[in-house]
Amino acid sequence: MEKLRVGIIGCGGIANNKHMPSLAKIEELEMVAFCDIIEEKAEKAAKKFGVENAKVYQSYQQLLEENDLDIIHVCTPNQSHSPITVAALEAGCHVMCEKPMAKTTEGARKMIEAAKRTGKKLTIGYQNRFRADSIYLKRTCERGDLGEIYFAKAHAVRRRAVPTWGVFLNEEEQGGGPLIDIGTHALDLTLWFMNNYKPVSAFGSAYKKLGDQTETGNAFGDWNKEEFTVEDSAFGFIKMEDGATIFLESSWALNTLDTGEAMTTLCGTKAGADMKDSLRINGAEFNKLYIKKPALGADGVDFFEGDKEDPAELEARSWINCILNDEEPVVKPEEAIKVTEILEAIYESSRTGKPVYFND
């Protein structure tokens, strides 16, 4: 069988640390084309991960025109997710786009429309679904062990870990700060566990209270306050059609010791769960309160083959399998767009001081 031909658009940190190393471990594919507006980054990626004579581009349009590819991975700033994904789908490629799906809901809709129009597969890079604790908790929810989940918290809180490289601080390129960067992971997990994708309203606040400081204690070094054009923290309250509510907290810089990201707390009628430190299930049994900490390992956990398995590798393997076997991806674009809709609504609510109501 001929190998699947993969192109990488955007050869920065997320491509080098997640996408390309994971794809390199899959025998059924080969990376044959690389693109970055900084050509040296594409050249370096091609030498490290590409086949012999892999092609290098600064223009993604040229990459798509000159290569017969099966798959594109979009690893660029949020602003360009939608136009590149649409172009790649229309060029006949299946597309894995890094999170968030798009900077705006309108952009995300264009991506879904293009996937339907072309018949190609589209997924979004929410690799935290592939963690051992996430897989276990998803199955717990699907069995109904928690009952009706009517309240949840989505956690994405850093005390001082503002990313100071790339365009993370650029609102035009990214659409926002921690809410759209790491809040998106926490919200995706929470909606997925609840299997609830029908928001009615969202109310929220985004703050830039620490971004003007110069002595920061930041994990990645002091940020440039002149470049810091996004929020440093944001919080939202989401009401769902069935009456459930979700509180979303996100920060890159916040004076708190209660930190943790890509985590959720779920409260159901039969039991609850949280991911603080480790996965914990709580409830009442035989008239006694209990807290259970599942042993997470290979036994009985789908896609998981040991504590050292990398969620990014599992994500990549699952994605390639869905193409080879013509199956639906684990992260469906119809789910990912709901994350984008809610995040966009929280930003709008913060700007207007009013709740945002969803039409559908």
In a domain, 323, yes or no: no
Instruction: Report the share of the chain in percent with pLDDT over 70.
Output: 96
| Same domain, residue pair 197 and 168 | yes
Q: Helix or strand or coil: residue 31? A: strand
> What CATH number corresponds to the domain at position 37?
3.40.50.720
pTM, whole model, 2 decimals? 0.95
Q: In this structure, are residues 283 and 186 in contact, taking their beta carbons and an 8 Å threshold?
A: no
| Same domain, residue pair 165 and 41 | no
Residue where one domain finishes, among candidates 125, 156, 178: 125
| Same domain, residue pair 150 and 268 | yes
In a domain, 198, yes or no: yes
| Same domain, residue pair 156 and 267 | yes
In a domain, 59, yes or no: yes
Amino acid at 294: P
pLDDT tens, residue by residue, 306-345: 456 799 999 999 999 999 999 999 999 999 999 999 999 9
More confident of the two residues 179 and 307: 179
In a domain, 328, yes or no: no
| End-to-end C-alpha distance for the chain, whole angstroms | 44
Q: Beta-carbon neighbour count of residue 328 at 10 Å?
A: 9
- Residue 94's nearest CA partner among 125, 122, 66, 114 is 122
Residue where one domain finishes, among candidates 80, 107, 125: 125
pLDDT tens, residue by residue, 108-148: 999 999 999 999 999 999 999 999 999 999 999 999 999 99
| Same domain, residue pair 258 and 133 | yes
Phi, psi of 189 (to 5 degrees): -60, -45
- For residues 58 and 298, what is the distance between their CA atoms, to the nearest angstrom? 43
- Residue 22 domain boundaries: 4-125
Mean pLDDT of all residues in 18-41: 98
CA 12 to chain centroid:
16
> Which structure tokens are listed for 233?
């923290």
Measured on CA atoms in the order 103, 107, 113, 119, is the torsion positive or negative? negative
